[in-house]
Amino acid sequence: MNSIAKLLKEKPSKVLSIYFTSGYPELNDTTRVIENLGQSGVDFIEVGLPYSDPLADGPTIQDSSTIALKNGINLDIVFDQLMAIKDQNTTPLVIMGYLNQVIKYGEHKFCEKVVACGIDTVILPDLPMVEYENHYKELFDHYGINNVFLITPQTSEERIRKIDSYTKSFIYMVASSSITGAKGEISDGQIQYFERIQAMNLKSPLIIGFGISNHDTFSKACEYANGAIIGSAFIRHLEREGVDGISEFTTQIVGS
């Protein structure tokens, strides 16, 4: 059983995941962010690989990627940073990046590095289903890596059922048909979408992301899914308060 599946079996509700951009705000802050998030009670951490053309990301995460790239971050440095913390970190990590990064780096080399860092789950939002079925499923299975698929309000039931059949960790339930970015509240339309997916009785756990930004939206998302991922709101907090202010942010989210 992979690390995220094990986590969700042990804690099936109110799971809090935080996304951050590696190499941000400073080049060597990656390990500090992971350490502080782990100490603050986050259930699993989504490690973002900075990219010059992040199709799924809104302005906040795009800006953090731009800064990280200017800081000199690259995949080799990210993997070195993750290796440095491997033996101390006890919080499951998920790699979030884009398919072109994997191809450019080298598919086998990428997988080898991911596994060497003690990570078994990746999110590639732009990985086409047909490419996964024809090539990447076999590749990832060979290395024991799990791919997380995303669904949106427009995803057909047929595709959702197929994604559910392939899923070994969780389905990333995009809260709205938009790029990432903190929203003030969850709309009635989103609630209807959540209820529709909930009624499908999928076998896979659901984690809601995109637009989850505070205690209220996190709590509401957890009524319809196993947990939620927060990204943009955390990046903004990190920009304002720095790494030392991480615990304050997570405390506000869980409301304790």
Q: Assess whether 241 carries a catalytic annotation.
A: no
Question: Which stretches of the chain score pLDDT less than 50?
Answer: 179-182
Close Cβ partners of 123 (under 8 Å, ≥ 6 residues apart): 46, 94, 95, 96, 97, 147, 148, 150, 172
pLDDT at 184: 60
Q: Catalytic pick from 35, 57, 63, 87?
A: 57
Q: Assess whether 131 carries a catalytic annotation.
A: no
Domain boundaries, the chain: 14-148+215-246
Q: What is the pTM of this model?
A: 0.93
Based on C-alpha coordinates, what's the Rg of the chain? 17
Q: How would CATH label the architecture of 14-148+215-246?
A: Alpha-Beta Barrel (3.20)
pLDDT at 6: 97
Q: Catalytic pick from 29, 43, 46, 120?
A: 46
pLDDT at 88: 95
CA distance 64 to 239: 9
pLDDT at 186: 87
CA distance 91 to 7: 10
Close Cβ partners of 79 (under 8 Å, ≥ 6 residues apart): 113, 114, 116, 117
